Chains A and B, each alone.
Chain A
Amino acid sequence: MSEQVQVSGATSGGARAATLVGAAPPATTVLVGPTAEGGEVKPPGSSLRMFLSVFAENRLALVGAATIVAMVLFSFVGPVVYHTDQVHTHILTANLAPSAQHPLGTTNVGYDVLGRLMVGGQVSLEIGLGAALLSSLFGAGWGAFAGFFGKWADSVMMRIVDSIYAIPPLLLMLVMATIFSPTTFMFIIVVAFVSWLPTARLVRGESLSVRTREYIEAARGAGVTSVKVIFRHVIPNVMGTIVVQTTLQVANAILLLAALSYLGLGPPPPATSWGAMLNNGLNFLYDGYWWLIYPAGVAIVITVLAFNFVGDALRDAFDVRLQRH
């Protein structure tokens, strides 16, 4: 190990350590780190691995992620494999109990329930994902701006959020649904309009706290401009929150759309959604047509749970990544 004693060490720090050790009579074994006086550092790349391992360790999250993938496949690839007519009514095959031909039975107008679940899933997922992305993008921008620039802009922007938040989301959606024409894009807008508020609040809070951190002060002290500070420090540091929030918002959007559809103000027939299927099912509650009540509800619960699990696991994983050790 004596080759580590480099009196002509490249760094003065290394030279210093070497001199000290070399001068100490009993020290025949040199145990000072071979690299630098600052001590050992971990091998690189452990950060992402840590993130993934924490996420993967959470079995619920894996189940959730798998469920989401399965749901997407079921809704979008399913109809390719499993052909059903979801446009024309078939009174003759109405209200059939599950059988080999109709694994989940038929509705009161003869639609195949399994096929309808797929079509409804498409609408629910499209609008859920679309609304979540849109609301996160808008909400995060709004919140980051308010939080970082503070003062008047902050007060005005947050009072606007408070005002919209004060009106129950479903009520706001009811009103909007009566005003606008019911297209998928419109539903995305309507759902996003009531969903961006929590994201805006969260991101504002985070940026407010990030703004006071010492590393921001260090960047400013080095002459970094405000805009660069936002892009290089604030946004990356609130990104975790935004990702988690988006995931959870998908679940909420699906629930909101379900409620709206249930109230009969969802995508109009022949289009359908899981909520609309349940609206229909309510009429047959007393008739024992359970296949009109369980499948769609279960589909909603499973999908919402899956997104919630993934969101929670992401939050944990982001937290661990920032842990001090």
Chain B
Amino acid sequence: MLAYIVRRLIQAVIVVIGVSLIVFLLIHLLPGGPARAALGARATKAEIQAFNVANGYNRSIPVQYGLYVWHLLHGNLGYSYHYNQSVLSLLETNLPKSALLVGLAYVLALVVGVPLGLYQAVRRNKIGDHAVTTVAFVAYAMPTFWAGMLLILAFAITLHVLPAEVPQNAATVGAILSDPRALVLPVVTLALVNFSIFSRFMRSSAIENLVQDYIRTARAKGISSTRVVFRHLLPNSVTPILTLIGLTLPIVLSGAIVVETVFNYPGMGYLLWTAALKQDYPVLMGFTLVIGVATVVGSLLADLLYAAVDPRVRYV
């Protein structure tokens, strides 16, 4: 078990290095290179020249990468001239808000998707199964932003039951939570795609497990079918979902960017979007790196959790 954890950790570290290399590469791909990235689109040639010399960007690529990592390790993610703030401080204010959104969306998708998938597997090819399948397929096929628009149209504009936006200028998580109703639509929208992924996965996983011998053994014991489903089928089919949580993180974070723009939710995604439109490269690159690392850590945690739950993994 310990060896597994350590091995998985090392793998994660390698991937983090890989992510930093990719971001480093992207910075160099920018027209004008890192100087443009740091100084913004309006910087003059002379300014760029001066910046390059001052920051060692006239040196060899490996040295530059070393410097880049050195800065990162000292918490220097860059400085946004657009916001007149360091990227790190932007991160500190925006990250928690996005984490709240993403976390709630995951909880919702799991709470709804897992039981529905299980229900589908048990009632396979019955009308309920088909109904959920239809919903899941449509939810998956809907562009997230369009789903958000439809929800706003229905619940905010037509029915007036839920707000279409969180309180603007909500600087902190606390401020957002002051009106939890405003969170309903963004969270539901973001959860849609994952709901369909989880319910589909749970359905096929449970169907696969249903034909396993141990389920037959359980039935042969004469225990109730509820017990067969919840004591035997559920644990065996739900554990692989833990790794799926890690795998879907990039998808959900992509969704978060869109959802935040649709609902004017003042999180990382919204910030990134405006940064992209305004070519605020320090923010884009800094956040890309941080989100990449967060994804790696997320999948790592999911895998470790899986190892903790499944007794068989401990001996690998």
Contact = CB atoms under 8 A, between A and B. Distances in A.
Contact between A and B in the complex (any CB pair below 8 Å) = yes
Which of B30, B146, B276 has the most chain A CB atoms closer than 10 A to its own CB?
Answer: B146
Nearest to A160: B18
Given A175-B285, A255-B143, A167 B279 contact: no
Given A285-B152, A301-B141, A259 B18 contact: no
B5 interface: no
A177 B36 CA distance: 16
Nearest to B289: A167
Interface of B: 11, 14-15, 17-19, 21-23, 26, 29-31, 137-138, 140-146, 149-150, 152-153, 157, 249-251, 253-255, 257-258, 261-262, 272-273, 276-277, 279, 281, 284-285, 287-288, 291-293, 295-296, 299
Contact of B29 (A159, A179, A304, A308): A179
Q: Which 5 pairs, one residue from A and one from B, show the smallest C-beta to C-beta distance?
A: A163-B18, A170-B254, A304-B141, A168-B253, A297-B146
B141 A168 contact: no
A166 B149 contact: no
Given A179-B29, A282-B262, A305-B138, A259 B144 contact: yes
Interface in A243-294: 251, 255, 258-259, 262-265, 275, 278, 281-282, 285-286, 293
A163 B258 contact: no
Given A263-B261, A282-B149, A174 B11 contact: no
A162 B258 CA distance: 23
Which of A167, A170, A309 has the most chain B CB atoms closer than 10 A to its own CB?
Answer: A167
B15 A162 contact: yes
Nearest to A254: B143
* Interface SS of A by simple majority: helix
A300 interface: yes
Given A258-B146, A285-B152, 18 more contacts: A163-B17, A163-B22, A166-B293, A167-B22, A167-B288, A167-B292, A168-B250, A168-B251, A170-B254, A171-B288, A178-B276, A259-B145, A265-B277, A278-B145, A278-B149, A300-B142, A301-B142, A305-B138
Contact of A168 (B22, B257, B261, B293): B257
Contacts of B249: 168
A263 B258 contact: yes
Contacts of A174: 257, 272-273, 276, 284
11 contacts: A165-B295, A166-B299, A168-B250, A168-B291, A171-B257, A264-B277, A300-B142, A301-B138, A304-B140, A308-B137, A308-B141
B137 to A, nearest CB: 6
Contacts of A305: 137-138, 141
Contacts of A62: none
Nearest to A181: B31
Nearest to B139: A301
Nearest to A282: B149
